Chains A and B, each alone.
Chain A
Amino acid sequence: MNQQDLRMHAKKPIKPGTMLGKAGAYIVMGVFAFMTIYPLVWLFLNSFKSTTEFRTNMMGLPVDWTFDNYITSWKIGEFDKLIGNSILYTLGSTVGITFFSLLTGFAFAKIKSKATGLIYGSFIIGILLTIQSLMVPLFLEVTSIDRGIGDILRSLGLIGPGEFRLFHNTRFGVLIIYIGSALPVGIYMCTEFIRGIPSAIIEAAQIDGAGYFRIFRSIIVGMSRPIAMTLSILNIPLLWNEFALINILVSETSLKSLPLGIYKFSGGLSSDYGKQFAALVIGMLPMLLFYIAFRRQITAGVSMGALKE
């Protein structure tokens, strides 16, 4: 729309039907916005109440504002230890997922062989698997692999009698499994996106003597920025809030992430609401700040990912 079009639009009188439609849209959007924002505000305000006050005053503003809930929750939840792990797991896995998805997507989309369909299908079928169905088999797998490697290294005299850890109870194990579990969706999205990149560009590069990795580095990565952005935006909140897998994969507090610390405050017959709410705010705040800081990029990324350029 150019300046002239805009002026023409500005001169047009607003029809009553359009106004009614606009008003309706604003009301609907307003209600949705309220339904999203109100629980967050409620949670934030109630995190400044003692549990006794919360029981008698669930909806009103705090009478005796207290910051103790935050101090105690931070201490009990050991959030100082967990927040660093959350950042590492989220960023490390996002980089890994994006890189391997693009790399594999490039291979599936542009390097054809008779086995491509079969291999691609075997990756994509992972989309159908739920995390819940993977939890126990994954735990068995990581503990068995660690035990197996440990036995071999021990028999070779390379390690002592202690427990050997590679995948279970290690940050490396968490990263590998996070990356692996998100790859089916990532590979699917990247393959479909890269298919849209004209093969002529790749063929031209090949004629100029570029190898596959050079083509990937110089052409595919650059042209796949929209899908890389979309993939990152989709994965960051999921990884930040991931609970089911990390609950199974690590036991030591020094390796746990923020959701495990927050879940510590979730009692079936919860008796200390103040601290529970404070813990929830602590967990929610980084994602809220992430959204506020990157809201434009998030919207652009999601819409760009929906289109092939």
Chain B
Amino acid sequence: MKKKICSVLVFLVILSMGAYAQKTTITVFDYIDATAPGYAENEAIWQKFIDENPDITLVKEELSNEPFHQKLAAYVAAGTLPDVIYMYPSGRSTALHEQKLVKDLAPLLGKDFLSNFIPSVTDPSGQKGKYLAELPQSITYTTVMFTNTKLLSDLGLKVPSTYAELKAMAPKLKAKGIRPVLMANKDDWVMQSCLFSTIVGRMLGDEWIDNALAGKVKFTDKDFVKALEFVQTMYKDGVIGRDTIQISYGEAPALFAEGKAAFFIDGDWRQNAFLTDASSGKALIDPKLQQTDFGFYNFPAIPGEKNPGVASAVLGCGYGISASIPAGSDKEKAAVRLLKYLYSADVQRQYLELGRYITSRKDVKSDKLEPFTMKMVQYHDSVPKTCYVLDGALDTSIYTPLNLGLQQIGLGTKTPEEVAQSIQAAVDAWRAAHK
């Protein structure tokens, strides 16, 4: 009897060892915070992959904001990068790109798979290392003019196609106690990221920024100062109120939803604030009204623009695979399987429905979207050309005085020329440090 029991135990041990040997472990370093839309549903999406792939053991670590970048820096320094990493196309993930710490996804995912995505996200030139280090899940449009069309039509106004039209309607709106344009300018990045980047794109173009960083032109040149002056003009014309500098990022959506502004300028991600809250079943703007009373438009044509219709946008984040994984190994195959699952039409459709982002996959359709999400997809399609988001194109040391300077212009404490000088000083210092 004892022998039989021993034999069974030995058999079970061997069996379990065999099963263990077949399992491939992949570590994932993911960026998500629990306040993101659909956090619980996202966990279910990952769990589905675990359930459907019993031969893969997934060890996932989640962080967000600065702690994510600190931990990533530690992983890079120690040479212990996780197998699958959430990363940016440039910016904070520059080390991963430049040191080629992640693999080129183009051959791993294959042409057929990548053909499902809009061409600009699979274009390697958009990424810091000039290869497909990560597959952007989306393109983020940072300038969207959320428009209360009902409010405009009630006052006999139309969506403006030029700045002159926008300026002309400001007194009429203000007479009714309505702000023409609402922005959450208390956060200094908002003006730069959500409007000024588009102004620079329209008036100067991306090439001008590249030349300025190369030292061929200066931020103190007349052209750039004119772009800053346009911001000053908007404040002087009353199109944007100086009191917007006291409006925090969190409170702006409610003000717009309450009809206290005709236009609200922010990034495409801000549509999430208006969608139905899954836990309470309530929405800041009722879906029926989202459909009938609101629209998303590009900022109107501005005087002196060279590139009409351009709006600022940046490639979104996505997942990359560690270069330390041996080519052709089971681990590499498991990591590719995970990426193909995460970027599948089904998972991308779920993320779209959850309001996480507007997916870069072309074949994703859903009839469960709230009107604002559908309208945002249409807005993306309506923008003819994109330009740099300045905090994505410039170093932190350069866009910090720019962000601050735009606030100072709003407050009237600095002139566009003074702000331009502080930016150029930062560029000179940055160039000297990078010689």
Q: Is B363 an interface residue (CB 8 A)?
A: no
Q: Is B34 an interface residue (CB 8 A)?
A: yes
- Known A-B contacts A56-B284, A271-B37, A271-B272; the reply to A135 vs B70 at CB < 8 A is yes
Assess whether A136 is in contact with B33, with CB atoms less than 8 Å apart.
no
Q: Is A157 an interface residue (CB 8 A)?
A: no
Assess whether B283 is in contact with A55, with CB atoms less than 8 Å apart.
no
* Residues in chain A near residue B80, CB distance under 8 A: 143
Closest partner residue, chain A, to B82 (CB atom): A251
Against A, the Cβ 8 Å flags (1 = close, 0 = not) of B15-55 are: 00000000000000000011111011000000000000000
The CA-CA distance from A32 to B165 in the complex, in Å, is 50
* Residues in chain A near residue B74, CB distance under 8 A: 135-136, 139-140, 248
Q: Is B250 an interface residue (CB 8 A)?
A: yes
Against B, the Cβ 8 Å flags (1 = close, 0 = not) of A255-280 are: 00000000111111111111110010
Assess whether B71 is in contact with A276, with CB atoms less than 8 Å apart.
no
Q: Is A52 an interface residue (CB 8 A)?
A: yes
Give, as a whole number of angstroms, the nearest-CB distance from A74 to chain B. Answer: 11
* Residues in chain A near residue B269, CB distance under 8 A: 269
* Residues in chain A near residue B33, CB distance under 8 A: 264-268, 270
Contact check: which of B34, B78, B251, B253 meets A143 at CB < 8 Å? B78
Contact check: which of A50, A55, A144, A252 meets B273 at CB < 8 Å? A55
Best-buried of A72, A266, A272 by chain B (most CB within 10 Å): A272
Closest partner residue, chain B, to A147 (CB atom): B80
Closest partner residue, chain B, to A143 (CB atom): B78
Assess whether A275 is in contact with B34, with CB atoms less than 8 Å apart.
yes
Q: Is B413 an interface residue (CB 8 A)?
A: no
Q: Is B257 an interface residue (CB 8 A)?
A: yes
Assess whether A139 is in contact with B34, with CB atoms less than 8 Å apart.
no
Assess whether A52 is in contact with B277, with CB atoms less than 8 Å apart.
yes
* Residues in chain A near residue B36, CB distance under 8 A: 267, 271-272
Closest partner residue, chain B, to A69 (CB atom): B279
The prevalent SS among residues of B at the interface is: mixed
Q: Is B77 an interface residue (CB 8 A)?
A: yes
The prevalent SS among residues of A at the interface is: helix
Against B, the Cβ 8 Å flags (1 = close, 0 = not) of A49-73 are: 0111101101000001010110011
Against A, the Cβ 8 Å flags (1 = close, 0 = not) of B53-88 are: 000000101111101001101100110100000000
Closest partner residue, chain B, to A56 (CB atom): B254
Assess whether A66 is in contact with B249, with CB atoms less than 8 Å apart.
no
Q: Is A77 an interface residue (CB 8 A)?
A: yes
Assess whether A55 is in contact with B64, with CB atoms less than 8 Å apart.
no
- Which B260-277 residues sit within 8 Å CB-CB of chain A? 269-270, 272-273, 277
* Residues in chain A near residue B283, CB distance under 8 A: 52
Q: Is B282 an interface residue (CB 8 A)?
A: yes
Contact check: which of B59, B64, B65, B282 meets A50 at CB < 8 Å? B282
The CA-CA distance from A53 to B283 in the complex, in Å, is 9
* Residues in chain B near residue A279, CB distance under 8 A: 34
Q: Is B381 an interface residue (CB 8 A)?
A: no
Closest partner residue, chain A, to B275 (CB atom): A271
The CA-CA distance from A264 to B35 in the complex, in Å, is 8
* Residues in chain B near residue A267, CB distance under 8 A: 33-36, 64-65
Give, as a whole number of angstroms, the nearest-CB distance from B280 to chain A. Answer: 4
Q: Is B258 an interface residue (CB 8 A)?
A: yes
Contact check: which of A68, A248, A270 meets B70 at CB < 8 Å? A248
Q: Is A247 an interface residue (CB 8 A)?
A: yes
The CA-CA distance from A256 to B431 in the complex, in Å, is 42
Closest partner residue, chain A, to B61 (CB atom): A251
* Residues in chain B near residue A51, CB distance under 8 A: 277, 279-280
* Residues in chain A near residue B270, CB distance under 8 A: 269
The CA-CA distance from A32 to B170 in the complex, in Å, is 43
* Residues in chain B near residue A99, CB distance under 8 A: none
- Which B280-294 residues sit within 8 Å CB-CB of chain A? 280, 282-284
The CA-CA distance from A58 to B279 in the complex, in Å, is 18
* Residues in chain A near residue B251, CB distance under 8 A: 55, 58
Assess whether A68 is in contact with B279, with CB atoms less than 8 Å apart.
yes
Closest partner residue, chain A, to B39 (CB atom): A76
Assess whether B78 is in contact with A273, with CB atoms less than 8 Å apart.
no
* Residues in chain B near residue A251, CB distance under 8 A: 59, 61
The CA-CA distance from A204 to B254 in the complex, in Å, is 75
Assess whether A136 is in contact with B77, with CB atoms less than 8 Å apart.
yes
- Which A14-70 residues sit within 8 Å CB-CB of chain B? 50-53, 55-56, 58, 64, 66, 68-69
* Residues in chain A near residue B254, CB distance under 8 A: 55-56
Q: Is A100 an interface residue (CB 8 A)?
A: no
Q: Is A120 an interface residue (CB 8 A)?
A: no
The CA-CA distance from A252 to B82 in the complex, in Å, is 13
Closest partner residue, chain A, to B62 (CB atom): A264
Assess whether B64 is in contact with A140, with CB atoms less than 8 Å apart.
no
Assess whether B279 is in contact with A136, with CB atoms less than 8 Å apart.
no
Assess whether A72 is in contact with B70, with CB atoms less than 8 Å apart.
no
Give, as a whole number of angstroms, the nearest-CB distance from A167 to chain B. Answer: 13
* Residues in chain B near residue A243, CB distance under 8 A: 67
Residues of B within 8 A of A (CB): 33-37, 39-40, 59, 61-65, 67, 70-71, 73-74, 77-78, 80, 249-251, 253-254, 257-258, 269-270, 272-273, 277, 279-280, 282-284
With A69-B279, A275-B279 already in contact, 15 other A-B pairs whose C-beta atoms are closer than 8 Å = A51-B279, A53-B280, A58-B251, A66-B280, A76-B40, A139-B77, A144-B78, A248-B71, A252-B59, A263-B67, A265-B34, A270-B35, A274-B279, A276-B34, A276-B35
Q: Please list 16 pairs of residues, one from A and one from B, whose beta carbons are closer than 8 Å in the complex, sorted by A's number.
A: A51-B279, A52-B283, A58-B250, A139-B74, A140-B78, A244-B70, A248-B70, A252-B59, A264-B64, A265-B33, A266-B64, A270-B33, A272-B39, A273-B250, A275-B279, A276-B34
10 closest cross-chain pairs (CB), A and B: A50-B280, A272-B35, A139-B74, A267-B35, A267-B33, A55-B254, A52-B282, A264-B34, A251-B61, A270-B35
